[in-house]
Amino acid sequence: MTGIERVGVVGCGLMGAGIAEVCARAGLPVTVVERDAQAARSGCLRIIRSLDRATARGKLSAERRDAAADLITVVDQMEALHDRDLVIEAVAEDERLKADVFTCLDAVVTGDSAVLATNTSSVPVIRLAGVTGRPENVLGVHFFNPVPVLRLVELVPCLLTSTETATRAEAFVTGRLGKEVVRAPDRAGFVVNALLVPYLLAAVRMVESGGASAEDIDRGMVLGCAHPIGPLALTDLIGLDTTRAIAESLYAAFREPRFSPPPLLSRMVEAGLLGRKSGRGFHTYATEPQGEAATPAGPR
């Protein structure tokens, strides 16, 4: 037994919404906190649309869809997380913002054994644990997008995470959520992004240098290497702003050129070309409400 029966999520973007959904589909009551009432309404709609898509595709019965929806509450008050056994932070990939969330959670969540987890892609967990008075309860629990589909979770204990916390978190993720776990060291990028991000940045540099079009790069990797999605379409899915933030964190930690964000990536972020969530990145997308993901519609 993990003792985790009530889950909280901070942030209801694509990642937070997906985490809330998989927890509710596992039969757990989930309270999700957003920054304001409008964002809470948008987050709730995002979760409902995802459940509806799963039902329409035959992946989820109507009864299970309704049961999951009834277990999710989206609010705009952090105090609503006071009784949670596990809270997962899933806000934007900004270290200061995440640290502010953990400072607040430390004050709000009352249970001495409550697990405080971060879904960060690249921020060292020790920096977030260090702003709390209970670093032994803090670790990384990094899901992958789309959360309801991808089975992997990176479990990232920091130097101060207790063995009990890591064991409870792993048992919860594998037993209750049915995911697969890899243990990752607490270093920028962990395992997956430390390997993935240089590959994505290399694709951006190829476009930047005129070596190939975005469409041809993606077609080449899908048809020539059997990748399910090309690197630039994947960058669009992740979000160009998020990709740049991860790259900056990796470069700050290791000072290796392969982690440095290419100028083209930075210019696109500054222009608001963020990928699927903005309707345009390296490819263009049919715009859907509330930032829902769309289907690639051709090259940039």
Catalytic residues: 121, 142, 154, 193
Within its chain, how far is the Cα of 223 from the centroid?
27
3-state helix, strand, coil split of the chain in percent (to 5) is 50, 15, 35
Q: Please state, in angstroms and as integers, the Cα–Cα distance from residue 35 to each residue in 32, 45, 94, 259, following that order.
A: 10, 15, 15, 31
Query: What are the DSSP calls for 38-95, one per residue?
Result: HHHHHHHHHHHHHHHHHHHTTSS-HHHHHHHHHTEEEES-GGGGTT-SEEEE---S-H
For the record, the structure tokens of 88 come out as 């997962």
State how far the Cα of 200 lies from the Cα of 233, in Å rounded to an integer.
10
Answer for the pair 68, 47: CB distance below 8 angstroms, yes or no. no
Nearest to 65 by CA among 44, 41, 43, 48: 48
Query: What are the DSSP calls for 189-254, one per residue?
Result: TTTHHHHHHHHHHHHHHHHHTTSS-HHHHHHHHHHHH--SS-HHHHHHHH-HHHHHHHHHHHHHHH
